[in-house]
Amino acid sequence: MKTLLCCLLLAAPLAAQRDFLSADEIDQIKEAQEPNLRLKLYADFARLRLDLVRNLLSKEKAGRSILIHDTLDQYSKILDAIDTVADAASARKTDISLGLAAVAAAEKEMLPILKQIEESKPKDLERYEFALTQAIETTADSLDLAKEDLGKRGSEVEQRQQQQRKAIEAQMTSIEKEGQQADTDKQKAAAKEAEEKAAADATPKRKPPTLLRPGEKKK
């Protein structure tokens, strides 16, 4: 654990465009195509970030506040990724009860730790207070979602998607709407043509008519 914490600390990104996962973590996520596995991985990554924050807080070192801030920011983005994966899986009616159970268990552990950090009021708190507040709020919200009924969550996701589509359509010009309708018509026509071709290919071909009697061969 100490080795991994050191690696995370050394790899702490400084650029504004930084990613919130390490290269190794990105590879692990790519390999985990199943939503339950991804959710468990993200929960583990969030735990690592919180362990790193606690490790940084235990030592009086110059420059630690920016590392704490960035690590808390990564933590919040990881939880956002958890909710994105869960929402997408719920919309597809995928059973993610195992993954959400792992997420809920992790977040139940992490939320009190984050609140304890806030209550302890470290002397450099003002430099990462906003990131800490965001982390606490994100954890509480994500925990509530993890406990939510999957069917209800799927319906809510579908409603949000419909609202987003309506909002986008409301902002479109008449020309853009006509173009979108034309694309939709083309897609429907192509799908119909493909179905007709598949049906034609599946229909047995009739033999051409012949004047030969049954059993008689062409000379």
| Residue 125 DSSP class | G
Q: Which two tokens stand for residue 177?
A: 């709407």
Question: Within a domain: residue 204?
Answer: no
Residue-level pLDDT at 170: 72
Q: How far apart are CA 12 and CA 67, in angstroms?
A: 7
Residue-level pLDDT at 155: 55
Q: Which two tokens stand for residue 19?
A: 């990613």
Residue 6, amino acid: C
Question: Within a domain: residue 141?
Answer: yes
Look up the domain containing 86 and give its range: 2-12+20-170
Which residue do the tokens 């919180």 mark?
50
Residue-level pLDDT at 166: 65
Question: Within a domain: residue 212?
Answer: no
Rounded to the nearest 10 degrees, how much is the dihedral formed by the CA atoms of 148, 152, 158, 163? Answer: -80
Question: Within a domain: residue 105?
Answer: yes
Residue-level pLDDT at 159: 59
| Residue 208 DSSP class | P
Residue-level pLDDT at 173: 73
Q: Counting every residue, how long is the chain?
A: 219
**Of residues 168, 29, 169, the one with CA closest to residue 99:** 29
Cα angle: 186, vertex 192, 194; to 5 degrees: 100
Q: How far apart are CA 20 and CA 18, in angstroms?
A: 7
| Cβ neighbours for 91, distance < 8 A, ≥ 6 positions apart | 154, 157, 158, 161
Residue-level pLDDT at 177: 66
**What total of structural domains would you count in the chain?**
1
Q: How far apart are CA 76 and CA 134, in angstroms?
A: 7
Distance of CA 61 to the CA centre of its chain: 35
Question: Can you give the pLDDT of all 219 residues of the chain as single tens digits?
Answer: 544 554 554 444 433 334 899 999 999 999 998 999 999 999 999 999 999 999 999 998 889 999 999 999 999 999 999 999 999 998 888 999 999 999 999 999 999 999 999 999 999 999 999 999 999 999 999 999 988 866 565 555 555 555 656 677 677 777 776 676 777 777 778 777 777 776 666 666 566 666 666 666 666
Question: Within a domain: residue 217?
Answer: no
Question: Within a domain: residue 109?
Answer: yes
**Of residues 32, 46, 48, 27, the one with CA closest to residue 89:** 32
Residue-level pLDDT at 113: 98
Q: How far apart are CA 101 and CA 146, in angstroms?
A: 7
Residue-level pLDDT at 9: 46
**Of residues 84, 71, 63, the one with CA closest to residue 134:** 71
Question: Within a domain: residue 191?
Answer: no
Question: Within a domain: residue 89?
Answer: yes
